[in-house]
Amino acid sequence: MKNSKVTLSALFIFLIVLSGSAKEVFFNVLDFGAKGDGKTNNTRAINAAVDAAAKKGGGTVYFPAGDFLSFTIRMKSKITLHLDQGAVLIGDKEINGVGYDLPEEDAWYKKFQDFGHSYWKNSLIYGDSLHDIAITGNGMIWGKGLYTYDKPGIKGSGNKAIGLKNCFNVTIRDVSILHGGHFCILATGVDNLTIDNVRADADRDAFDIDCCKNVRVSNCNINSPMDDGLCLKSSFGLGYAKATENVTITNCQVYGYDHGTLMDGTFGTIFKDEDPGANHSITGRLKLGTESNGGFRNITVSNCVFEHSRGICIETADGGLIEDIVINGITMRDVTDTPFFIRLNARMRGPEGTPVGVCKRITISNIIVYDVGGRTKFPGLGAGMVMGIPGHYIEDLTLSNIRIIYRGGTTKEAVDSEVPQNIDMYPDPYRWHTLPAYGMYFRYVRGLRVSDVVLSYLNRDERPAFVLDDVHNASFSNVYAQNGAGAPQFVLKNLTNFSAHQVNGVGDTKLEKVVKKEL
């Protein structure tokens, strides 16, 4: 019994010590006057807790269960915001100009990117030039009072749930984000960034990762019906060109269901496939670009699911280098326009004298897509699209072990339709309206390898599976593509060094030069 008393006493002393140390590193917002009643604005109380933690050299600002209204929370280095289960951090609505911090002063280079990519201060959670920060917990960030679009004329307005600039060693884990405004997360110039197990139900972009290095995005569920879901960018928002590089994206799911229906589990659909007024409303895709001033290097995407959304976009429009991209192990269902869109063009929104970009060494493999295209008012969209511009080629592209089932249903008149160049336009698939191929369309490509590919359609389609225009050093092997009566498998224009091996309906073929030919 004596030993038991000693043990209990030691445990009691340990708990007292632990409790005392917890007070030093955990800063409960209630202790600073916050009220989780869904009525009180807690901006001062929350920032007081952040300041107190920073003065102690860092710590965790703790939100217990409750509804906490706030305007801008100014993060500091070595601070964690922890939202416990049941805690909801709510972005309040500005009143008579009182609200979120004002955006930064205009910079000379703001014209090189959209408004949202030039300002960070007008966020619910904001940080600039910080290190070792985190946002964690099973609670929710609800940007209820945030604007979806830019509102520069409304003083005190906010349009981002989380806005971070020039930070390093940043972790965002386990939280849910509902209605993030323009961005649920905008990270610009943030290195050593981890986003893990985050649920985002966005009304515009979910995650925008811009000019960042050493990034890990994993185990996230993203619903973004009206804009991009998971978007890598390399804008001129920092005032100079910086690449987004060394990025891994894995085990994520991306949707385009109605806003709010990921969070409540209903997965609703307002936008119907045959809505004649629909254009490109359903988005929810993974994209590299459009802002591409600094380029993209060493990007891998693996083991992801896309549903009721668009597919994958890889774009350099404003100069910048795209190289060494690997996309592997993706399944897609109910895809609205195209499973993949790879585009090099010359919008050139950047400093004068910037050269046209380069796009090379891209591998896309182990992809399964069911029911793609045939929607909106452009039913001729659906094919995979790979397009450079005259004099600027997409280089060294490999597509392997891919199976795609298209909705189809387009007549042969589309084969002769002109495919516009759209050299200086915002690159987006819907701008092409209709394509002459139902399966894959390639233009201005050098070094193309397509192998172990199966293509088919649900509704009779009279277009060829493949159209190649100004493509050089292309090989196709072990390919099966469904084709309608009288439709060729290939339409070839302006080619050099083309080969086909074990392609159904086409004998083994080698062509050194082609002006125009059907196979």
> Comparing 280 with 97, which gets the higher pLDDT?
97
- Write down the pLDDT at residue 371: 95
Six-digit token string for 20: 């005392």
Calculate the CA 56 to chain-centre distance: 37
- Write down the pLDDT at residue 153: 74
Six-digit token string for 367: 């992809």
Tell me what the mean pLDDT of segment 266-281 comes to. Answer: 61
Residue-wise pLDDT tens digits, 158-203: 999 999 999 999 999 999 999 999 999 999 999 999 999 999 999 9
- Map out the domains of the chain as residue ranges: 130-518
pLDDT cut 90: percent of the chain above it: 81
Q: How confident is the model at residue 271 (pLDDT cuts 50, 70, 90)?
A: low
Pick 130-518's CATH classification: 3.40.462, 2.60.40, 2.160.20, 2.40.50: 2.160.20
Residue-wise pLDDT tens digits, 248-260: 999 999 999 999 9
Cβ(386)–Cβ(417) below 8 Å: no
Cβ(178)–Cβ(142) below 8 Å: yes
Tell me what the mean pLDDT of segment 387-411 comes to. Answer: 96
Residue-wise pLDDT tens digits, 8-65: 445 443 443 444 445 557 999 999 999 999 999 999 999 999 999 999 999 999 999 9
Tell me what the mean pLDDT of segment 377-385 comes to. Answer: 85
> For tokens 């280089």, what's the residue?
395
Residue 273 pLDDT greater than 60, yes or no: no
- Write down the pLDDT at residue 24: 58
Residue 470 pLDDT greater than 70, yes or no: yes
pTM here is 0.93
Q: How confident is the model at residue 376 (pLDDT cuts 50, 70, 90)?
A: low
CA distance 257 to 270: 8
- Write down the pLDDT at residue 94: 95
Exposed/middle/buried for residue 318 (C-beta within 10 Å: 0-12, 13-18, 19+): buried
Q: Side-chain half-sphere of 462: how many Cα atoms within 13 Å?
A: 8
DSSP 181: B
Residue-wise pLDDT tens digits, 312-340: 999 999 999 999 999 999 999 999 889 99
The answer to which of 18-22, 99-103, 423-427 has the lowest mean pLDDT is: 18-22
Cβ(206)–Cβ(182) below 8 Å: no
